[in-house]
Chain A
Amino acid sequence: MEITVLNKMKTDTLILSGISRSFGGLKAVDDVSVEFPPGRITGLIGPNGAGKTTLFNIISGFIRPDKGEIWWQGEKLSKYPPWTIAMKGIGRLFQDVRVFKKITAIENVLLGKSNPGECPVNLLFNSKNVIARYREDIERAREWLAFVGLKEKENVLAENLSYGQQKLLAIARLLMADSKVLLLDEPTAGINPSLIKDLILMIKKIAESGRTVIFIEHNMNIVLEIAHWVYFLNEGRIVAFGRPEDVLGNHEVRLTYLGL
């Protein structure tokens, strides 16, 4: 897939171009070229070990691609460390949630956003600004906690929340980060069905606000319900793509993945 010069200009479409990555002799990601425009919810599906999480790790900056490039807002991302990529607006929800268990829910959410007080120099010389920003951040954090339905759990240690609540907390944290692109790795796994409905609504709202959502999912019902577009990965390669109904109706997909 040729990416035109136009696409590389300052655009809010996340573009992966010819991404490849091997571990030892194993090709985990094989020449993947995809685009994620704003407002679109894209599903990444495929069997286990197909390279979906690896792709996320490459986008987030935890792994360097062997070949290929990632374009975001006119810049190549692969040269940056993970924190810089996160600050550029790419947020990540991990498969194993990864909230900070020993601090409270609101402290978790506060960590979503960078605060000048995180640099000791500012604590000393810029304390008024730090305190003012802190007050703003607390308000925003409370809003996001309320948005995900965790308002009363504000001062609860994250380890005392249920798995599903921890996931919601992680999402609130991502929202606090104001990410333009959200990489959600199995967002509905381990969540009880009543909560899933709310989660789906949340994801739709996030996309409606003009953000890009990319999610890895094994539950095909969810994919059918919220994805605008789907990429099917197998053995590191994009084997099929298109609207969910089309991809899931695809013969090869049904064979390798759904076992039908």
Chain B
Amino acid sequence: MILQFLANGLIAGAIFSLMGLGIGLVYNTTKVLHIAYASIFVSGAYALYFFLKVLHFSLFFSIVLAILIAMILNILIEVFVYKPCYLRKTSSAIPLISSIGTYVVLTNLIALIFGNETKIVTSGIEKSFQFGSVILTRIQIIQFAAFLLLFTLYLILLKRTKFGKLIRAFANNPELLSMCGVEVLNLRILIFGLSGIFAGVASCLVALDIGIDPYAGMSILLVALVSLIVGGVGIFESAVFGGFLIGIIQNLVVWKISARWQDCITFLILILFLLLRPQGILGIKKRMEEL
């Protein structure tokens, strides 16, 4: 019994981790709390729905296009909403508020176009496989496999490529990089593009599993944020640690207490971490800034 819940937790954790990596990538580098990421998630899922169910493209093409759309939309938000704030050197409140506004606009646009109800993307019963006492559907296995693939590629990117070096440098010392002027703006675009891919993949995986509604993005984003804080801000991979931890804890709560209290427990954990260990599990404690 517990193994089934653990397995479910790992699957859920895979999705949380993908979104956590995406939002963490943006926050660690640009320091923007990209609330609008929730609508990127939803856009990817609805793009999949549109291409697959309305235009009847092949599954492969629909997924690719959906990921592309998420990527492009994320980049557009950076160019039109966050870049001006960066250039004006505003306080962090302004991009945050603009992000909230963007989320509201995009989510409601999607609700206008597609309606408020849940849209199912796949039809028929999912094939399921049995591993000992654990039952997993085909899509769940694909979710986990996709996460592993993407995370491995991401790690290689971070540690072995020039792009990865630039990302890490940006996170640690943005002023040094900004002395090269234009390069930073392009780097930001690449960062948002990559982050968009994470959301696109996650949204397709979830849409193919349980369908999509316009408000699902915020639910997932919230857990992604908790994963980021619990894992540790500042370290790019830590959101994975947080994501799986939260995924497992949520499913343990479902098992031992009740599914109703998942959210409450998740966010109690968030507040505890913010107060007691804001650097997360894997983060390093920052020294207090002196006067």
Contact = CB atoms under 8 A, between A and B. Distances in A.
**A–B in direct contact per CB < 8 Å:** yes
Looking at chain A's contact residues, the main secondary structure is: loop
Looking at chain B's contact residues, the main secondary structure is: loop
Contacts of B290: 23, 57, 63
Contacts of A24: 287
A36 interface: no
A62 interface: yes
Contacts of A63: 290-291
Nearest to A53: B291
A62 B290 CA distance: 9
7 contacts: A23-B290, A24-B287, A57-B290, A57-B291, A62-B291, A63-B290, A63-B291
Interface of B: 287, 290-291
A62 B287 CA distance: 15
Contacts of A23: 290
A75 to B, nearest CB: 23
Interface in A16-72: 23-24, 57, 62-63
Interface residues of A, number: 5
Interface of A: 23-24, 57, 62-63
A116 B111 CA distance: 53
A63 B291 CA distance: 8
A208 to B, nearest CB: 31
7 A-B pairs with least C-beta separation: A62-B291, A57-B291, A23-B290, A63-B290, A63-B291, A24-B287, A57-B290
A57 B290 CA distance: 10
Contacts of B291: 57, 62-63
Contacts of A57: 290-291
A24 B289 CA distance: 12
A142 to B, nearest CB: 32
A57 B289 CA distance: 13
A84 B287 CA distance: 25
A108 B120 CA distance: 62
Nearest to A60: B291
